[in-house]
Structure 1
Amino acid sequence: MRRLLAICVGIFTATVAWAGMPNVTFPSIDGGTLDMADWSGRPVLVVNTASRCAFTDQYEALQDLYDTYRDAGLVVLAVPSNDFRQELGSAEEVREFCEMTYGIDMPMTDITAVTGAKAHPLYRHVKSETGFVPRWNFNKILFAPDGSVVDTWGSKTTPMSRPLRDAIEAALSGD
Structure 2
Amino acid sequence: MLMRWIAVPALLVTFTGLACAAECPELLQGSLQKLRAKESIDLCQRYEGKPLVVVNTASFCGFAPQFKSLEALNQRYKGQGLEVLGVPSNDFKQESRDGAETAKVCYVNYGVTFTMTEPQPVRGADATHLFKVLAEQSSAPKWNFYKYVVDRKGKVIASFSSLTKPDDPEFIAAVEQALASQP
Matched, 1:39 2:47: yes
TM-score by length of structure 1 reads 0.91
Decide whether aligned partners of structure 1 residues 22 and 137 sit closer, same or farther in structure 2, where only a CA change above 3 A counts: closer
Unaligned runs of 5+ in 2: 1-7
Partner of 1:7: 15
Partner of 1:28: 34
1:132-158 alpha-carbon deviations (Å, 9 max, x no partner) = 010100001111111011111100010
- Give the 4+ runs in structure 1 shifted more than 3 A: none
Residues in 1 aligned to 2:48 and 2:113: alpha-carbon distance in whole angstroms: 20
- Number of residue pairs the alignment of both structures matches: 172
Partner of 2:132: 124
Partner of 1:53: 61
Residues in 2 aligned to 1:51 and 1:90: alpha-carbon distance in whole angstroms: 11
- Whose radius of gyration is greater, 1 or 2? 2
Residues in 2 aligned to 1:83 and 1:72: alpha-carbon distance in whole angstroms: 32
Decide whether aligned partners of structure 1 residues 126 and 84 sit closer, same or farther in structure 2, where only a CA change above 3 A counts: same
Give the Å deviation of 1:170: 1.4
Decide whether aligned partners of structure 1 residues 84 and 159 sit closer, same or farther in structure 2, where only a CA change above 3 A counts: same
Q: What is the root-mean-square deviation in Å for CA atoms of aligned residues?
A: 1.6
Residues in 2 aligned to 1:137 and 1:46: alpha-carbon distance in whole angstroms: 12
Contact 1:90 1:111 in 2 (8 A): no
Residue 117 of structure 2 aligns to a residue whose secondary structure is: coil
1:119-158 → structure 2 map (5 Å cutoff): 119-130=127-138, 132-158=139-165
Contact 2:88 2:95 in 1 (8 A): yes
Unaligned runs of 5+ in 1: none
Contact 1:44 1:142 in 2 (8 A): yes
1:107-118 → structure 2 map (5 Å cutoff): 107-118=115-126
TM-score by length of structure 2 reads 0.88
The percentage of aligned residue pairs carrying the same residue is: 31
Give the Å deviation of 1:169: 0.8
Give the Å deviation of 1:21: 4.8
Residues in 1 aligned to 2:179 and 2:137: alpha-carbon distance in whole angstroms: 22
Residues in 2 aligned to 1:107 and 1:170: alpha-carbon distance in whole angstroms: 22
Residues in 1 aligned to 2:60 and 2:11: alpha-carbon distance in whole angstroms: 55
Give the Å deviation of 1:22: 6.2
**Which one of the candidate residues 153, 157, 162 is aligned to 2:169?**
162
